[in-house]
């Protein structure tokens, strides 16, 4: 209401409750919901041990920002005794280091620029807004997937396996694929407990589209009661519907044109990435009028690019390192195993490089994780 | 033996510490030879520039608003602008402490403080002065007030050069720019429009940032001990209506503080100088562009000329 009033230049503010909410409430609400629904559906037996159940709900590595674990995966692990395994512990620590690198070296560095622009969008040039939006796209990926790596890594050190939450989402060729790779624990939760419950794709095209839209709208609202998140969710729903509706036609055109597969894959990845970036504008902008202003201004394509060279040089090097590793993971899934089997000098060299990068290039006064607010 | 997890871990740590000390030593050597660039250079240049008669301290609203060449011409004195984007009076106090420790010929310090600055919440940015902590106990104390683990972090020789490597490498041994002032370009895109500033809900009750007030007091006391005059000032912002209650509270506090300490505080804003109501003088609502900065600098010079 306040956003709409602001756009109409009407001085109106919605009275807020201003309640103090516990950190991570959205995550463990979904986690406990899935437990309850699974028991209702008969796919899970109730946990008789209060301590085990409490540990499932409040398992510290993923308590505040996921991954949203299913009881069927985590509870059986919590019942088993854990013995010290050097290889598992080092593997967990290495994943934590990679997550920390993504968060403080790449994500937070990009965040310095994105925050500076998005917190003061008035008067920014088009190019500055484009670069800030790209910066935010990588910031939120590094921030959130970095946290997930820290959570999965620390759980692994303790002897528990958490689900993978990201699989190189910006390599996706369609929005549908993006949601199979981005915040996987949320998207699969929404699919299993909302989309399929609504009927999924079992009742014809129109109802499938309705279900997609409702699912993504609620996915948006899960992030917070704000018009920005509603529009973000609506855009995701719209993109999913359009992607689904036009895929056969697009495939037919590409087949007729006989374009090389690599070019087609690249083009699709670029388009998908830009659609995601478009929706990030609503996700990141402080208010709805700000988001509208940023989009309108971005497409005027003028003005000089305001850029702090040091920050951007750090960011570009960080993103290059990120893309190098993520591309290796994408194209050669066995790369992680190969790294574990590499000579000590290679492994330690890479770990020292990451550690020194965190000390030398990490943003010292960095903010907390973006998803801690949800 | 090599497969013993404990020995492998120990070996890993020993190699890490050796690497850290070696790289840290190399970076400190390079850092000490860097006098240009807005990350490593500003601090070193300010400390090395012992001939400056006037030194300007503050945030972006000092570094972009005080056109040092113009002020130098007006006062017929050598002016060095040590203001830096996003850094507050705590940074100014740390830099001043090191400057006085090393010795300076300056006879006037200009310190930019905004009314709102005295109520700022959150963590201070002090990364630029971390390399000074090894030899300056006052700087270390300032860092420690914001980061209780800073002494542990400083055990790593590379830590003081966090976020400075690229700046050091790209500006190493480059002669410093003669003019530290960087004029901001005019506002781009749609014309800038003055808007009313939203008054924070807790404008009348928000507690004062005691650390910042103490830093200003220490700044003035240290300058006085070195027989250096201090001039506190605050710059204009583009807005309609009156300044917020928070800003006014800050100005009142600064005026009282300045009077008590025997120095001058001047808020040069739209009220005192209506010409700052012109949006064409601004880069954005918080920053003057080059033309605005020249006008502002001339007003500061006039204030300084007053007895």
In a domain, B268, yes or no: yes
Confidence at residue A66, expressed as pLDDT on a 0 to 100 scale? 75
- The reply to whether A54 and A95 lie within a common domain is no
Distance from CA of B190 to the nearest CA of A (A): 7
| Interface list for B 276-305 with A (CB within 8 A) | 283-286
- The reply to whether A35 and A142 lie within a common domain is no
In a domain, B154, yes or no: no
Chain B CB contacts of A125 under 8 Å are 188-189
In a domain, B294, yes or no: yes
CB B198 within 8 A of CB A2: no
> What would you measure as the largest C-alpha separation in chain A, in angstroms?
66
User: What are phi and psi for residue B124, nearest 5 degrees?
Assistant: -85, 150
Q: What's the domain range around A29?
A: 25-79
Average pLDDT, chain B: 89
**Catalytic site includes residue A183:** no
Final residue in a domain of this structure, among A41, A56, A79: A79
Is the pLDDT at B152 greater than 60? The verdict is yes
Residue in B127, B190, B284 nearest the CB of A364: B127
Number of folded domains that form chain B: 1
Chain A CB contacts of B163 under 8 Å are 310, 314, 360-364
Chain A CB contacts of B165 under 8 Å are 360-361
Please give the torsion angle defined by the CA atoms of residues A205, A207, A209 and A214, in that order, rounded to the nearest 10 degrees: -170
In a domain, A9, yes or no: no
Say if the Cβ atoms of A359 and B159 lie within 8 Å.
yes
Confidence at residue A365, expressed as pLDDT on a 0 to 100 scale? 66
Confidence at residue A4, expressed as pLDDT on a 0 to 100 scale? 55
In a domain, A311, yes or no: yes
- The reply to whether A213 and A233 lie within a common domain is yes
Which residues does chain A have with pLDDT short of 50? none
Instruction: Count how many pairs of residues, chain A against chain B, have C-beta atoms within 8 Å.
Output: 72
Closest residue in A to B163 (Cα) is: A361
Give the rounded percent of residues in chain B with a pLDDT score beyond 90. 56
In a domain, A7, yes or no: no
B85: left (phi over 0), alpha (psi -120 to 50) or beta: beta
Say if the Cβ atoms of B37 and A364 lie within 8 Å.
no
- The reply to whether A120 and A236 lie within a common domain is yes
- The reply to whether A69 and A159 lie within a common domain is no
Q: What's the domain range around B200?
A: 52-148+177-305
Closest residue in A to B4 (Cα) is: A86
- The reply to whether A249 and A342 lie within a common domain is yes
* Helix, strand, coil percent content, chain B, rounded in steps of 5: 50, 10, 40
In a domain, A261, yes or no: yes
Q: Tell me which of A196 and B42 has the higher pLDDT.
A: A196
- The reply to whether A193 and A296 lie within a common domain is yes
In a domain, A293, yes or no: yes
DSSP-derived letter for residue B160 is: G
Note the pLDDT tens digit of each residue in A320-369: 999 888 888 778 878 878 888 889 899 999 999 999 999 998 887 655 65
CATH of the domain at B120: 3.40.50.1110
In a domain, A67, yes or no: yes
Task: Kindly name the residue from A9, A49, A203, A223 that is annotated as catalytic.
Answer: A223
Query: Is-above-0.90 flag for pTM?
Result: no
ipTM metric: 0.75
For residue B92, what are the contacts with CB-CB under 8 A and spacing of at least 6?
Answer: B57, B58, B82, B111, B215, B219
Distance from CA of B163 to the nearest CA of A (A): 5
Best to test chain A binding among B21, B36, B162, B196 (most A CBs inside 10 Å): B162
Note the pLDDT tens digit of each residue in B241-297: 888 888 989 999 999 999 999 999 999 988 888 999 999 999 888 899 999 999 999
For residue B210, what are the contacts with CB-CB under 8 A and spacing of at least 6?
Answer: none
Please give the torsion angle defined by the CA atoms of residues A92, A98, A99 and A102, in that order, rounded to the nearest 10 degrees: 180
Say how far apart CA A256 and CA A7 lie, in whole Å. Answer: 46
Distance from CA of A362 to the nearest CA of B (A): 7
Give the number of residues written for chain B.
307
For residue B8, what are the contacts with CB-CB under 8 A and spacing of at least 6?
Answer: B2
Distinct helix (H) and strand (E) counts, chain B: 11, 7
**Three-state secondary structure string covering B274-288:** HHHHCHHHEEECCEE
In a domain, A127, yes or no: yes
Please give the torsion angle defined by the CA atoms of residues B35, B36, B42 and B43, in that order, rounded to the nearest 10 degrees: -20
Token pair of A25 as six digits: 């409430």
Chain A CB contacts of B283 under 8 Å are 123
Which of A132-136, A355-359, B168-172, B229-233 is the least confident region?
B168-172
> What would you measure as the largest C-alpha separation in chain B, in angstroms?
78
In a domain, B15, yes or no: no
Confidence at residue A306, expressed as pLDDT on a 0 to 100 scale? 76
Confidence at residue B218, expressed as pLDDT on a 0 to 100 scale? 95
Q: Confidence class of residue B70 from pLDDT cuts 50, 70 and 90?
A: very high
Final residue in a domain of this structure, among A34, A64, A79: A79
Best to test chain B binding among A360, A361, A367 (most B CBs inside 10 Å): A360
Say how far apart CA B209 and CA B204 lie, in whole Å. Answer: 14
Packing angle of the helix pair A309-331, A108-118 (nearest 10 deg)? 130
State whether residue B125 sits within 8 Å of chain A by CB.
Answer: yes
Cα angle value A6/A8/A9 (rounded, 5°)? 60
Chain B CB contacts of A314 under 8 Å are 163, 166
- The reply to whether A201 and A104 lie within a common domain is yes
Note the pLDDT tens digit of each residue in A278-327: 999 999 998 898 999 999 988 988 877 777 777 778 888 888 999 888 88
State whether residue B172 sits within 8 Å of chain A by CB.
Answer: no
């Amino acid at each position: 209401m306040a956003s709409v009033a602001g756009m109409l230049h009407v001085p109106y503010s919605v009275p807020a409750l201003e309640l103090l909410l516990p950190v991570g409430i959205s995550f463990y609400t979904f986690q406990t919901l899935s437990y309850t629904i699974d028991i209702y559906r008969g796919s899970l037996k109730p946990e008789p041990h209060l301590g085990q159940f409490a540990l499932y709900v409040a398992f510290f590595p993923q308590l505040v920002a996921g991954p949203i674990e299913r009881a069927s995966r985590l509870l059986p692990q919590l019942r088993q005794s854990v013995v010290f395994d050097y290889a598992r512990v080092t593997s967990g620590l290495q994943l934590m280091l990679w997550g920390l690198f993504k968060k403080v070296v790449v994500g937070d560095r990009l965040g310095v620029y994105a925050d500076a622009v998005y917190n003061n969008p008035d008067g920014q040039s088009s190019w500055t807004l484009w670069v800030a939006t790209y910066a935010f796209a990588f910031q939120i990926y590094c921030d959130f997937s970095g946290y997930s790596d820290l959570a999965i890594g620390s759980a692994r050190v303790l002897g528990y396996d958490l689900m993978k939450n990201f699989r190189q989402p910006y390599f996706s060729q369609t929005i549908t694929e993006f949601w199979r790779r981005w915040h996987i624990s949320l998207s699969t939760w929404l699919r299993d407990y909302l989309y399929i419950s609504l009927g999924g794709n079992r009742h014809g095209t129109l109802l499938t589209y309705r279900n997609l839209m409702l699912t993504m709208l609620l996915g948006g609202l899960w992030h917070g009661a704000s018009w920005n998140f509603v529009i973000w969710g609506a855009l995701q729903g719209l993109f999913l519907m359009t992607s689904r509706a036009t895929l056969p036609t697009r495939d037919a055109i590409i087949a007729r044109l006989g374009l090389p597969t690599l070019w087609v894959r690249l083009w699709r990845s670029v388009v998908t990435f830009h659609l995601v970036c478009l929706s990030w504008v609503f996700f990141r902008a402080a208010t709805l009028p700000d988001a509208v202003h940023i989009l309108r201004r971005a497409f005027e394509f003028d003005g000089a690019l305001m850029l702090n060279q040091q920050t951007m040089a750090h960011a570009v090097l960080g993103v290059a390192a990120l893309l190098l590793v993520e591309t290796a993971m994408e194209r050669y899934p066995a790369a992680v195993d190969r790294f574990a089997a590499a000579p000590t000098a290679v492994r330690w060299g890479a770990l020292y490089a990451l550690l020194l990068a965190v000390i030398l290039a990490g943003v010292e006064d960095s903010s907390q994780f973006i998803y801690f607010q949800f | 033996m090599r497969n013993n997890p404990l020995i492998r871990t120990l070996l890993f740590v020993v190699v890490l510490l050796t690497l850290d000390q070696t790289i840290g030593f190399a970076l400190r050597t390079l850092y000490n030879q860097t006098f240009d660039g807005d990350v490593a250079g500003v601090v070193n240049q300010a400390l090395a520039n012992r001939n400056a008669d006037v030194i300007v301290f503050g945030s972006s609203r000092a570094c972009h608003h005080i056109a040092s060449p113009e002020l130098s011409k007006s006062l017929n004195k050598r002016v060095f602008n040590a203001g830096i984007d996003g850094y507050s009076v705590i940074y100014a106090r740390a830099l001043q402490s090191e400057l006085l420790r090393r010795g300076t010929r300056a006879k006037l310090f200009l310190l930019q403080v905004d009314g709102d600055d005295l109520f700022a919440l959150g963590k201070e940015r002090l990364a630029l002065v971390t390399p000074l902590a090894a030899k300056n106990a006052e700087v270390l104390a300032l860092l420690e007030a914001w980061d209780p683990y800073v002494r542990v972090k400083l055990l790593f020789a590379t830590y003081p050069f966090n976020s400075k490597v690229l700046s050091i490498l790209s500006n190493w041994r480059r002669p410093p720019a003669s003019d530290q002032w960087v004029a901001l370009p005019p506002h781009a895109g749609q014309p800038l429009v003055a808007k009313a500033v939203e008054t924070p809900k807790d404008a009348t009750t928000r507690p004062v940032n005691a650390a910042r007030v103490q830093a200003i007091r220490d700044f003035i006391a240290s300058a006085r001990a070195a027989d250096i005059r201090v001039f506190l000032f605050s710059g204009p912002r583009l807005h309609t209506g009156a300044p917020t209650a928070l800003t006014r509270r800050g100005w009142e506090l600064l005026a009282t503080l300045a009077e008590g300490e025997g120095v001058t505080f001047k808020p040069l804003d739209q009220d005192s100088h209506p010409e700052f109501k012109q949006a064409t003088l601004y880069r954005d609502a918080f920053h003057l562009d080059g033309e605005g900065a020249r006008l502002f600098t001339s007003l500061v010079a006039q204030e300084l000329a007053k007895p």
